[in-house]
């Protein structure tokens, strides 16, 4: 597509509308009273037939099929009636963005939407003088399936209003591009997907042609945490990116039963107190033995996502150790609030994770990692800040002692059986596994016991003997009950 401005053929600026279609507003559950905007870098411009790369360490690259306006002559403080006369052409656009990078920009979208190739335009221009701006259509296909289909009749703010409003604040110059927002249907795309966007005039049949973009894997270096914010996502971002909770595969309620209230309670209760309550219920073998925290002052609370290694065997490692193996799958798909629990048979003669995988887990919102094997890149993993419990450090790579065998399923870690969805709690004393069905009962009982123990400790501090006080005999119990009820 030919541009009118600059020796590079790029527009001087690209201005995009945050939310402009009624269908998209209904999907998001909010309708703005007036249009709002953000800027995209002109270096993000691309043509049809190109490949866009999903940044390393991210998962939520989303397409947005849009109508793009190309300014034909300078517009400054133009009226609504004059605005369309300043538009030279209409074409198709794909306002690509990575939701993983939105949080640090607080609405500016610089990092999430201005990467190279993130604004494909074209392939052809439609003369704006030949079309009715109220009778334009935008459609998007992903892998041949129609996923967006809306017209400018569905806009909250007519195209001319967007031009006139912007001209009140900035001078629109020849060649500038305005991305006018996307209708409902925007969602996540992955490497290998092909996105096509087309804009056409309903009255004349004039068309921009199909704007084709293929998604590829990014070969650029990983983001440097020393330079700025890293990708960060949660289920709110996932729902926004996919378009709905159902499309994102999010459950209505936590499958494990670990509600926000239970999580808060578990963060308050020492592992020792939980262990005591589980023992009273006949559960003695629920501690993950032999692991120590890399950050002793931190608390670990989450639901288990399991990973199993089997002893190294060359032929099995050749089949299961390379590519996107079970180890990489576990770290690449862990959900927010989950703890990756690794069965390494207590073998510490190689690493079961390193800094790259720890960074991936933190980026995806994992609560932590527990492994009864070793950790390589120990100092770098510690610096990432993700709570990790391990049997020790070792410089060797995985293949020295292990074959990554299975992500998910029941495992044995540090002598304890762990199933996906089990509740994992860790502190300086160690790590414990709580069956989901017992967690509410156990945590409440542990909190009650902690209150009783605190009262006993206060009496000991006053000089009382532990004889008959710890545990309390009938006399001390009566006093405790009386003071608690006062």
- Write the burial class of residue 361 (CB in 10 Å: 0-12 exposed, 13-18 middle, 19+ buried): buried
Q: Are strands 194-201 and 45-46 parallel, antiparallel or unpaired?
A: unpaired
Task: Quote the pLDDT of residue 299.
Answer: 92
Residue closest to 115 by CA, chosen among 222, 17, 199, 43 = 43
Which H or E run includes 329?
helix 326-333
* Token pair listed for 12: 């001087």
Among 149-153, 214-218, 231-235, 462-466, the range scoring the smallest mean pLDDT is: 231-235
The SS3 of residue 418 is strand
DSSP state of 254: -
Q: Rg of the chain over CA atoms, in angstroms?
A: 29
Q: Is the pLDDT of residue 254 over 50?
A: no
Q: 3-state secondary structure string, 199-231? A: EEECCCCCECCCEEEEEEECCCCCCCCCCCCCC
Task: Quote the pLDDT of residue 4.
Answer: 40
| DSSP track, 37-55 | EEEE-GGGEE-TTEEEEEP
Query: Is 414:431 a contact under the CB 8 Å cutoff?
Result: yes
* Token pair listed for 266: 């578990």
Residue tagged 């799958």 (tokens): 329
Mean pLDDT of the chain: 89
- Residue 257: pLDDT band (50, 70, 90) is low
Query: Is 17:82 a contact under the CB 8 Å cutoff?
Result: no
Which own/partner contact pairs does 135-138 have at CB distance under 8 Å and 24+ positions apart?
135/201, 135/202, 135/203, 136/67, 136/90, 136/199, 136/200, 136/201, 136/202, 137/199, 137/200, 137/201, 137/202, 138/65, 138/66, 138/67, 138/92, 138/182, 138/183, 138/197, 138/198, 138/199
The SS3 of residue 416 is strand
Please, what CATH class does the domain formed by 260-437 belong to?
Answer: alpha beta
pLDDT tens digits, 40-67: 999 999 999 999 989 888 889 999 999 9
At residue 389, φ and ψ (nearest 5 deg) are -115, 130
Measure the CA–CA gap between 392 and 346, rounded to whole angstroms. 10
* Token pair listed for 224: 């440097």
Task: Quote the pLDDT of residue 2.
Answer: 41
How many Cβ atoms are within 10 Å of 330's Cβ, its own excluded?
27
**CATH topology identical between 14-242 and 260-437:** no
- Residue 293: pLDDT band (50, 70, 90) is very high
The span from the first CA to the last CA of the chain, in angstroms, equals 80
Collect all residues with Cβ–Cβ distance below 8 Å to 481 and sequence separation of at least 6.
none
Task: Quote the pLDDT of residue 104.
Answer: 67
* Token pair listed for 33: 């009273």
Residue tagged 């499309």 (tokens): 247
Axis-axis angle for helices 474-485, 439-461 (nearest 10):
100
Mean pLDDT of 274-301: 93
Residue closest to 235 by CA, chosen among 339, 110, 365 = 365
Measure the CA–CA gap between 302 and 32, rounded to whole angstroms. 37
Measure the CA–CA gap between 227 and 100, rounded to whole angstroms. 17
Measure the CA–CA gap between 305 and 411, rounded to whole angstroms. 10
Q: Which fold has domain 14-242?
A: Fumarylacetoacetate hydrolase; domain 2 (3.90.850)
Domain layout of the chain by residue ranges: 14-242, 260-437, 442-485
Strand partners, 96: none
Query: Is 361:342 a contact under the CB 8 Å cutoff?
Result: no
**5 vs 238, residue with greater confidence:** 238
Instruction: Report the share of the chain in percent with pLDDT over 70.
Output: 94
Measure the CA–CA gap between 456 and 476, rounded to whole angstroms. 9
pTM of the predicted structure, to 2 decimals: 0.53
Task: Quote the pLDDT of residue 106.
Answer: 63
Measure the CA–CA gap between 213 and 47, rounded to whole angstroms. 9
Query: Is 356:222 a contact under the CB 8 Å cutoff?
Result: yes
Residue closest to 47 by CA, chosen among 96, 131, 101, 117 = 117
Strand partners, 304: 339
Measure the CA–CA gap between 225 and 57, rounded to whole angstroms. 12
Mean pLDDT of 434-459: 88
- Write the burial class of residue 452 (CB in 10 Å: 0-12 exposed, 13-18 middle, 19+ buried): middle
Query: Is 350:373 a contact under the CB 8 Å cutoff?
Result: yes
DSSP state of 4: S
- Write the burial class of residue 221 (CB in 10 Å: 0-12 exposed, 13-18 middle, 19+ buried): exposed
- Residue 481: pLDDT band (50, 70, 90) is confident
């Amino acid at each position: 597509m030919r541009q009118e401005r600059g020796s590079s053929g790029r527009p001087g600026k690209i201005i995009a509308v945050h939310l402009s279609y009624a269908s998209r507003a209904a999907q998001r559950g909010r309708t703005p009273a007036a249009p709002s905007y953000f800027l995209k870098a002109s270096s993000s411009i691309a043509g049809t037939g190109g490949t866009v790369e999903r940044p390393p360490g991210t998962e939520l690259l989303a397409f947005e099929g849009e109508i793009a306006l190309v300014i034909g002559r300078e517009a400054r403080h133009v009226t609504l009636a004059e605005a369309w006369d300043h538009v030279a052409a209409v074409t198709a656009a794909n306002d690509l963005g990575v939701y993983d990078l939105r949080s640090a920009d607080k609405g500016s979208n610089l990092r999430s939407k201005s990467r190279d190739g993130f604004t494909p335009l074209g392939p052809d221009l439609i003369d704006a003088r030949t079309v009715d701006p109220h009778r334009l259509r935008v459609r998007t296909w992903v892998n041949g399936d129609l996923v967006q289909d809306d017209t400018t009749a569905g806009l909250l703010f007519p195209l001319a209003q967007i031009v006139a409003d912007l001209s009140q604040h900035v001078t629109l110059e020849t060649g500038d591009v305005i991305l006018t927002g996307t209708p409902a249907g925007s969602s996540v795309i992955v490497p290998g997907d092909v996105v096509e966007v087309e804009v056409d005039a309903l009255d004349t049949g004039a068309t921009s042609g199909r704007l084709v973009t293929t998604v590829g894997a990014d070969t650029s270096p990983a983001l440097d945490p020393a330079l700025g914010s890293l990708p960060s996502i949660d289920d709110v971002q996932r729902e926004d990116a996919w378009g709905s909770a159902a499309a994102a595969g999010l459950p209505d309620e936590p499958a494990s039963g670990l509600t926000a209230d239970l999580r808060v309670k578990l963060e308050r209760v020492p592992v020792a107190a939980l262990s005591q309550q589980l023992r009273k219920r006949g559960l003695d073998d629920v501690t993950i033995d032999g692991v120590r925290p890399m950050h002793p002052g931190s608390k670990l609370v989450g639901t288990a996502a399991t990973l199993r290694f089997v002893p190294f065997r060359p032929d099995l490692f050749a089949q299961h150790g390379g590519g996107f193996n079970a180890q990489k799958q576990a770290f690449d798909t862990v959900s927010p609030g989950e703890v990756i629990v690794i069965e390494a048979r207590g073998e510490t003669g190689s690493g079961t994770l390193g800094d790259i995988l720890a960074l991936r887990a933190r980026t995806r919102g994992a609560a932590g990692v527990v492994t009864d094997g070793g950790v390589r890149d120990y100092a770098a993993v510690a610096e990432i800040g993700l709570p990790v419990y391990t049997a020790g450090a070792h410089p060797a790579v995985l293949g020295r002692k292990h074959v990554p065998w299975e992500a998910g399923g029941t495992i044995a870690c540090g002598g304890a059986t762990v199933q996906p969805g089990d509740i994992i709690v860790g502190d300086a004393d160690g790590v414990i596994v709580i069956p989901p069905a017992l967690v509410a009962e156990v945590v409440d009982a542990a909190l009650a016991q902690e209150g009783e123990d605190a009262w006993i400790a206060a009496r000991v501090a006053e000089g009382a003997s532990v004889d008959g006080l710890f545990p309390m005999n009938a006399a001390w119990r009566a006093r405790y009950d009386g003071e608690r009820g006062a």
